[in-house]
A and B are shown apart, each in its own frame.
Chain A
Amino acid sequence: MSDLANRSAPIDLSPSSSRLGERAIMKVLLFAGSVSILTTLLIVFILLEEGLRFFASVSVADFLTDTVWRPFGDPESDAFRIGIWPLINGTLLVTAIAMTVAIPLGLGAAAYLSEYAPERLRRKIKPSLEVLAGIPTVVLGYFALTFVTPQLRLIFPEGSIQIFNALSAGIVVGIMVVPTVASLSEDAMSAVPNGLRQAAYGMGATRSVVVRKVVVPAALSGIVSAIILGMGRAIGETMIVAIAAGNLPTMTVNPGDQVQTMTGYIVQAVGGEASRGSLTYQSIFAVGIVLFSMTFGLNLLAQRFVKRFREVYE
């Protein structure tokens, strides 16, 4: 992509003379560009290397089918169980709650900013959403545990909300995801050609009808990709759930219960100073494989949707 030079005139940037210095510099630049590829390869290598050691001592079938997660202590004992489903369950429960918050708030904000807000208000709200996106997640975790949870315990009947619970963590993860969903969906809605709106107005549609029946459907692939990306962030979020959701891997679907997510387990197990070579340490990477595959898959999916939306309007 030699954009810069090609835009006005095609200029051949390949070195015409064999200047040693220039060629050395190109090599350095190429290396810097390759670091990102190296990073991806390293991530995959590390996850597989440590994860496969884990599966050398335990069965993959147990990992994928058992519903009790207790990878501590002596692997020979009955107490040692390695079914990942409680962690996936916890992750999905928190993510579902988060998306219940983030989808309406994110799409509402996107529609308002793109279709209704006067320019002056837009210029105030968008940076504020960026501020929200910039709050460190450990701070949001603090907020979930010390503010949201006590409020929930006041609202709901006594005993129904535990001190650590999926609901509080999920709500705050949802708030965290709002800027992602809002800004990407707003981009998609703003990219809808004005002619579509005007045609609808011309036929007597009101503004809300235009938003719901024209803009949203026309921007749908962009909106879907925004939601998928938001979901990926919710699944990968670590500190909020490590602080507020608890660390009890269970198969519960009750939002008031304590749960543990995949990311929460990674942090908890590391906190136990599991040393390399122990099954507990290796189990972190087995969980990492599942986590990485899920978020990576969602990313690829989101990119496919974005591509579709680009094909139509750009």
Chain B
Amino acid sequence: MSVLSTPQSVAEGAVGSLAAPRGRSVRERAFEAVLFVMTVLALVVLVVLLVDILRDGAGRLSLDFLTSYSSRNAEETGIRTGITGTLSLMALVALFAFPLGVAAAIYLEVFAPDNRFTRFMQVNIANLAGVPSVVYGLLASAMFVYILGWGRVLLSGVMALTLLILPVIIVASREAIRAVPPSIMNGALALGATPWQATYKQVLPVAMPGVFTGTILALSRAVGETAPILVAGAVFSRRADNVPWRVFEPFGAVPIQIYDFVKRPQEAFQNDAAAAAIIILLSVLLLMNATAITLRNRYRQKL
């Protein structure tokens, strides 16, 4: 409010004091202030975290850091293993999780009969989202590494992450499909399209931007996951590149290398190298999230 008292400011003041009775105004304001501080505190921590990481890691970043394999010497180590590993993981996880997730969402949203099995499926998806990520690592370790005998290889890691983010993609895709006006489906059906034709040719294209947004966000979660692939057998260092078509080779990942750096006692690893790798990881996540948000906004404007 301005210092000068205009008729308007007097009127506003009067209304303000109606909403907050005078006798309690100090306590009222204190209560609001406390809530505000609590709200902002977590965000302050976020800012401190980002500043701390930038300060620790910015000096260590270089092209060499991105293109060198890991080394026992902190000054020479790099995250090439992690980068090729993470890119390969993402490509394959997208390849598996996207079609599976979208198909499951189409089934649940359009075709599933309203019976006990469907309801069980839905409750189950909600429950899977609450299973700790490390448990998916246990699943991958026992099932894929040992029972199927694949060993600690790229494909085992891909399976752990695919199963982990599948519920996220299903939920997001269902929302995108639900947002499509029913008139589109009904119009297609009225013109003689079969249910599948109506879904595939009419509903799905409209829902696609939303589905993509959800998938990218889910993938960005998979990029940062450490525990599941660690348990599924990801390696800390490797003097070879991962490529998506060699699925039965050992694999690394950027978060795994961060964990490895943090665990080492030397400051040059624990602080500098780890923070530099974190900057790379967070930049990738930022890029993915920005893509997803741009996609979502463009799509909103069109509707």
Contact = CB atoms under 8 A, between A and B. Distances in A.
Interface of A: 1-5, 7-9, 11, 13, 15, 19, 21-22, 25-26, 28-37, 39-40, 42-43, 46-47, 49-50, 104-105, 107-109, 111-113, 116-117, 125, 128-129, 131-132, 134-143, 145-147, 175, 178-179, 182, 204, 206-208, 211, 229, 232-233, 235-239, 242-243, 263, 266-267, 270-271, 276, 284-285, 288, 291-292, 295-296, 298-300, 302-303
A267 B183 contact: no
Given A32-B100, A134-B285, A143-B49, A207 B20 contact: yes
Given A139-B53, A239-B226, A22 B35 contact: no
Given A5-B182, A129-B43, A134-B220, A206 B28 contact: yes
Nearest to B203: A4
6 closest A-B pairs by beta carbon, nearest first, are A236-B132, A108-B38, A136-B224, A32-B103, A29-B107, A238-B227
Interface in B92-118: 99-101, 103-104, 106-114, 118
Nearest to B57: A142
A97 to B, nearest CB: 15
Contacts of A35: 100, 104, 163, 166
A142 B114 contact: no
A182 B46 CA distance: 15
A208 B32 contact: yes
A19 B106 CA distance: 19
B103 A139 contact: no
A291 B135 contact: yes
Which of B103, B138, B270 is packed against the most chain A CB atoms within 10 Å?
B138
A19 to B, nearest CB: 7
A34 B141 CA distance: 22
B139 A36 contact: no
Nearest to B119: A1
Given A4-B182, A147-B48, A15 B195 contact: yes
Interface in B249-293: 255, 258-259, 262-263, 270-271, 274-275, 278, 281-282, 285, 289
Nearest to B163: A39
A104 B38 CA distance: 7
Given A11-B189, A138-B226, A37 B120 contact: yes
Given A139-B224, A270-B141, A147 B52 contact: yes
Given A36-B125, A136-B255, A270-B141, A206 B134 contact: no
Contacts of A104: 38
A41 to B, nearest CB: 10
Contacts of B99: 32
A36 B166 contact: yes
A47 B154 CA distance: 22
A15 B193 CA distance: 12
A112 B39 contact: yes
Contact of A40 (B38, B45, B127): B127
A299 B127 CA distance: 7
A136 B225 contact: yes
Contacts of A33: 103-104, 107-108, 112, 121
Given A104-B38, A134-B289, A136-B225, A37 B52 contact: no
